[in-house]
Structure 1
Amino acid sequence: MRNVSTLILAGTFLSVSWYTPANAQVRPDTRNMTCEQARQLVIDDGGVLLSTGPRTFDRYVSGVRYCEYNEILQRRWVQTTDDHTCLVGFSCKPRTHEDQ
Structure 2
Amino acid sequence: MAYVVTEACIKCKYTDCVEVCPVDCFYEGPNFLVIHPDECIDCTLCVAECPAEAIFAEEDVPADQQAFIALNADLAKIWPVIVTRKDPLPDHEDWISVKDKLQYLEKDA
TM-score (norm 1): 0.27
Instruction: Flag the structure with larger Rg.
Output: 1
Relative to its length, the structure with more helix (as a share) is 1
TM-score (norm 2): 0.25
